[in-house]
Amino acid sequence: MGSPANLDTIVLDLGGVLIDVDYHAAARAFAALGFGNFDGLYTKARQDHLFDAFEKGAITPAGFRDRVRALHDGPLSDGQIDGCWNAMLGHIPQERIQLVQRLKERYRVLLLSNTNAIHVPAFEAIVARENGIADFKALFDGAYYSCQLGMRKPDAEIFRFVLGRHGADPSKTLFIDDSIQHVEGARRAGLHAEHLELAHEDVLGLVRRLGLLG
Protein backbone atom coordinates (compact mmCIF):
# COMPACT_ATOMS: atom_id res chain seq x y z
CA MET A 1 0.00 0.00 0.00
CA GLY A 2 1.10 3.56 -0.64
CA SER A 3 1.92 5.69 2.35
CA PRO A 4 -1.05 7.33 4.11
CA ALA A 5 0.25 10.71 2.90
CA ASN A 6 -0.54 9.69 -0.67
CA LEU A 7 -4.12 8.61 0.06
CA ASP A 8 -7.09 10.91 -0.21
CA THR A 9 -9.98 8.41 -0.30
CA ILE A 10 -10.92 5.46 1.89
CA VAL A 11 -13.66 3.03 0.91
CA LEU A 12 -15.09 0.91 3.72
CA ASP A 13 -17.12 -2.27 3.59
CA LEU A 14 -20.07 -2.46 5.97
CA GLY A 15 -20.60 -6.04 7.17
CA GLY A 16 -17.74 -7.19 9.40
CA VAL A 17 -15.88 -3.90 9.05
CA LEU A 18 -18.40 -1.54 10.64
CA ILE A 19 -21.39 -3.65 11.63
CA ASP A 20 -20.86 -6.96 13.41
CA VAL A 21 -22.24 -9.84 11.35
CA ASP A 22 -22.78 -13.50 12.20
CA TYR A 23 -23.20 -15.15 8.82
CA HIS A 24 -24.38 -18.39 10.39
CA ALA A 25 -27.09 -16.77 12.53
CA ALA A 26 -29.54 -16.75 9.62
CA ALA A 27 -28.98 -20.46 9.08
CA ARG A 28 -29.56 -21.17 12.76
CA ALA A 29 -32.75 -19.12 12.71
CA PHE A 30 -34.04 -20.89 9.60
CA ALA A 31 -33.07 -24.27 11.09
CA ALA A 32 -35.20 -23.48 14.12
CA LEU A 33 -38.14 -23.25 11.70
CA GLY A 34 -37.25 -26.56 10.06
CA PHE A 35 -35.19 -25.22 7.14
CA GLY A 36 -32.12 -27.31 7.80
CA ASN A 37 -29.94 -26.79 4.72
CA PHE A 38 -29.90 -23.00 4.55
CA ASP A 39 -26.27 -22.83 5.62
CA GLY A 40 -25.36 -24.78 2.50
CA LEU A 41 -26.98 -22.15 0.31
CA TYR A 42 -25.55 -19.06 1.92
CA THR A 43 -22.10 -18.50 3.40
CA LYS A 44 -19.84 -15.49 3.52
CA ALA A 45 -17.51 -16.80 0.81
CA ARG A 46 -19.87 -18.61 -1.51
CA GLN A 47 -23.49 -17.80 -2.27
CA ASP A 48 -26.23 -19.49 -4.22
CA HIS A 49 -27.08 -17.45 -7.32
CA LEU A 50 -30.32 -16.43 -5.59
CA PHE A 51 -28.42 -14.32 -3.07
CA ASP A 52 -26.09 -12.83 -5.66
CA ALA A 53 -29.11 -11.75 -7.70
CA PHE A 54 -30.80 -10.33 -4.60
CA GLU A 55 -27.69 -8.30 -3.79
CA LYS A 56 -27.75 -6.88 -7.32
CA GLY A 57 -31.40 -5.89 -6.97
CA ALA A 58 -32.36 -8.31 -9.76
CA ILE A 59 -34.84 -9.99 -7.40
CA THR A 60 -37.40 -8.08 -5.33
CA PRO A 61 -37.91 -8.80 -1.63
CA ALA A 62 -41.18 -10.52 -2.53
CA GLY A 63 -39.40 -12.63 -5.15
CA PHE A 64 -36.66 -13.50 -2.67
CA ARG A 65 -39.19 -14.61 -0.06
CA ASP A 66 -41.06 -16.73 -2.60
CA ARG A 67 -37.82 -18.40 -3.66
CA VAL A 68 -36.91 -19.15 -0.04
CA ARG A 69 -40.36 -20.66 0.48
CA ALA A 70 -39.87 -22.80 -2.64
CA LEU A 71 -36.46 -23.99 -1.45
CA HIS A 72 -37.88 -24.77 1.97
CA ASP A 73 -40.95 -26.46 0.54
CA GLY A 74 -42.96 -25.38 3.54
CA PRO A 75 -45.01 -22.49 4.90
CA LEU A 76 -42.98 -19.49 6.01
CA SER A 77 -44.49 -16.05 6.49
CA ASP A 78 -42.85 -12.88 5.17
CA GLY A 79 -42.13 -11.88 8.75
CA GLN A 80 -40.50 -15.21 9.56
CA ILE A 81 -38.28 -15.03 6.49
CA ASP A 82 -37.25 -11.43 7.16
CA GLY A 83 -36.59 -12.17 10.81
CA CYS A 84 -34.37 -15.15 10.02
CA TRP A 85 -32.59 -13.34 7.19
CA ASN A 86 -31.90 -10.30 9.38
CA ALA A 87 -30.68 -12.45 12.28
CA MET A 88 -27.13 -12.17 10.96
CA LEU A 89 -27.07 -8.39 11.53
CA GLY A 90 -25.44 -7.27 14.76
CA HIS A 91 -24.41 -3.86 16.02
CA ILE A 92 -22.05 -1.03 15.15
CA PRO A 93 -19.96 -0.20 18.23
CA GLN A 94 -19.94 3.55 18.78
CA GLU A 95 -16.15 3.69 18.47
CA ARG A 96 -16.47 2.62 14.82
CA ILE A 97 -18.86 5.50 14.18
CA GLN A 98 -16.32 7.81 15.78
CA LEU A 99 -13.59 6.26 13.62
CA VAL A 100 -15.49 7.17 10.45
CA GLN A 101 -15.89 10.71 11.71
CA ARG A 102 -12.16 10.98 12.47
CA LEU A 103 -11.18 9.54 9.10
CA LYS A 104 -13.41 12.13 7.39
CA GLU A 105 -11.23 14.87 8.85
CA ARG A 106 -8.35 13.63 6.66
CA TYR A 107 -9.90 11.67 3.79
CA ARG A 108 -12.93 11.32 1.59
CA VAL A 109 -14.70 8.35 3.22
CA LEU A 110 -17.04 6.17 1.18
CA LEU A 111 -19.11 3.12 2.06
CA LEU A 112 -19.51 0.24 -0.40
CA SER A 113 -21.60 -2.72 0.69
CA ASN A 114 -22.94 -5.84 -0.95
CA THR A 115 -26.38 -5.86 0.58
CA ASN A 116 -30.04 -6.30 -0.25
CA ALA A 117 -33.39 -4.60 0.06
CA ILE A 118 -34.39 -6.51 3.21
CA HIS A 119 -31.14 -5.86 5.07
CA VAL A 120 -30.93 -2.14 4.24
CA PRO A 121 -33.93 -0.96 6.31
CA ALA A 122 -33.01 -3.46 9.03
CA PHE A 123 -29.46 -2.21 9.61
CA GLU A 124 -30.51 1.41 9.15
CA ALA A 125 -33.07 0.85 11.93
CA ILE A 126 -30.37 -0.68 14.15
CA VAL A 127 -28.13 2.35 13.65
CA ALA A 128 -30.99 4.76 14.27
CA ARG A 129 -32.03 2.96 17.44
CA GLU A 130 -28.64 2.15 18.92
CA ASN A 131 -26.34 4.89 17.57
CA GLY A 132 -28.84 7.73 17.27
CA ILE A 133 -28.12 8.22 13.57
CA ALA A 134 -31.29 8.82 11.60
CA ASP A 135 -29.55 9.04 8.20
CA PHE A 136 -26.84 6.41 8.07
CA LYS A 137 -25.69 7.31 4.56
CA ALA A 138 -25.05 10.89 5.65
CA LEU A 139 -22.28 9.60 7.92
CA PHE A 140 -20.15 9.15 4.78
CA ASP A 141 -19.09 11.32 1.88
CA GLY A 142 -20.87 8.77 -0.27
CA ALA A 143 -22.58 5.47 0.53
CA TYR A 144 -23.40 2.78 -2.00
CA TYR A 145 -25.41 -0.43 -1.74
CA SER A 146 -25.06 -3.12 -4.39
CA CYS A 147 -28.81 -3.71 -4.58
CA GLN A 148 -29.32 -0.07 -5.61
CA LEU A 149 -26.51 -0.08 -8.19
CA GLY A 150 -27.23 -3.37 -9.96
CA MET A 151 -23.59 -4.35 -9.39
CA ARG A 152 -21.73 -6.11 -6.62
CA LYS A 153 -18.24 -6.69 -5.34
CA PRO A 154 -15.81 -8.15 -6.37
CA ASP A 155 -16.61 -6.99 -9.93
CA ALA A 156 -14.30 -4.17 -11.01
CA GLU A 157 -17.19 -2.19 -12.48
CA ILE A 158 -18.65 -1.32 -9.08
CA PHE A 159 -15.34 0.08 -7.83
CA ARG A 160 -14.90 2.13 -10.99
CA PHE A 161 -18.46 3.43 -10.73
CA VAL A 162 -18.16 4.51 -7.10
CA LEU A 163 -14.78 6.19 -7.57
CA GLY A 164 -16.02 7.83 -10.76
CA ARG A 165 -18.90 9.43 -8.88
CA HIS A 166 -16.38 11.27 -6.72
CA GLY A 167 -13.57 11.81 -9.20
CA ALA A 168 -11.38 9.64 -6.99
CA ASP A 169 -8.06 8.32 -8.23
CA PRO A 170 -7.76 4.53 -7.64
CA SER A 171 -4.04 4.94 -6.95
CA LYS A 172 -4.88 7.29 -4.07
CA THR A 173 -7.74 5.17 -2.73
CA LEU A 174 -7.65 2.51 -0.02
CA PHE A 175 -10.38 -0.13 0.20
CA ILE A 176 -10.92 -2.11 3.41
CA ASP A 177 -12.99 -5.31 3.43
CA ASP A 178 -13.10 -8.52 5.46
CA SER A 179 -13.72 -10.71 2.37
CA ILE A 180 -10.54 -11.55 0.50
CA GLN A 181 -12.36 -11.96 -2.84
CA HIS A 182 -13.54 -8.35 -2.61
CA VAL A 183 -10.05 -7.16 -1.72
CA GLU A 184 -8.68 -8.94 -4.76
CA GLY A 185 -11.40 -7.39 -6.93
CA ALA A 186 -10.50 -3.92 -5.70
CA ARG A 187 -6.84 -4.51 -6.48
CA ARG A 188 -7.74 -5.61 -10.00
CA ALA A 189 -9.58 -2.30 -10.35
CA GLY A 190 -6.37 -0.45 -9.41
CA LEU A 191 -7.15 0.41 -5.77
CA HIS A 192 -4.96 -0.19 -2.78
CA ALA A 193 -6.80 -2.74 -0.67
CA GLU A 194 -6.38 -4.23 2.78
CA HIS A 195 -7.92 -7.48 3.96
CA LEU A 196 -9.35 -7.07 7.45
CA GLU A 197 -8.80 -10.45 9.10
CA LEU A 198 -11.39 -10.37 11.86
CA ALA A 199 -9.84 -13.30 13.68
CA HIS A 200 -6.82 -11.11 14.39
CA GLU A 201 -7.99 -7.48 14.53
CA ASP A 202 -10.88 -5.11 14.02
CA VAL A 203 -11.03 -2.04 11.81
CA LEU A 204 -9.76 0.22 14.59
CA GLY A 205 -6.66 -1.93 14.94
CA LEU A 206 -6.12 -2.00 11.19
CA VAL A 207 -6.39 1.78 10.91
CA ARG A 208 -3.90 2.22 13.75
CA ARG A 209 -1.51 -0.33 12.25
CA LEU A 210 -1.57 1.43 8.88
CA GLY A 211 -1.04 4.83 10.49
CA LEU A 212 -4.04 6.31 8.73
CA LEU A 213 -4.73 8.82 11.47
CA GLY A 214 -1.14 9.88 11.88
Q: At 40, which CATH number?
A: 1.10.150.240
- Residues 96 and 84 grouped into a single domain: no
Say how many C-beta atoms besides its own lie within 10 A of residue 115's C-beta. Answer: 21
pLDDT confidence tier of residue 72, bands split at 50, 70 and 90: confident
Per-residue confidence (pLDDT) for residue 3, from 0 to 100: 52
Q: Which of the residue ranges 70-74, 79-83, 124-128 would you say has the lowest mean pLDDT?
A: 70-74
State the residue range of the domain holding 144.
4-20+92-210
Indicate the helix (H) or strand (E) that contains 202: none
Predicted TM-score of the model (pTM) = 0.93
Looking at the fold, whether 103 and 160 belong to one and the same domain comes out as: yes
The verdict on 137 and 55 lying in the same domain is no
DSSP secondary structure, 55-78, as one string: HTTSS-HHHHHHHHHHHHTS---H
Alpha-carbon separation of residue 63 from 35, 46, 178 (angstroms): 18, 21, 29
Number of domains in the chain: 2
